[in-house]
Amino acid sequence: MTTMAPIHLILPMFVIQVAAYILLDKYNLSRWKYLVLVMYLILDFFILPDYLIPDYKDGEIRCGMPALAITFGFWIFGGGLTIITHCIYSIINSSNRKKKNIDY
Residue 4: partners with Cβ closer than 8 Å, 6 or more residues away: 52
Is 44 a member of any domain? yes
Residue 77: domain span: 6-103
pLDDT band for position 62 (50/70/90)?
Answer: confident
Phi–psi pair at 53, nearest 5 degrees: -70, 130
104 vs 100: CA distance, rounded Å: 7
**Structural domains counted in the chain:** 1
**pLDDT value of position 1:** 42
Is 1 a member of any domain? no
CB atoms near residue 98 (< 10 Å): 10
Average pLDDT, the chain: 85
pLDDT band for position 3 (50/70/90)?
Answer: low
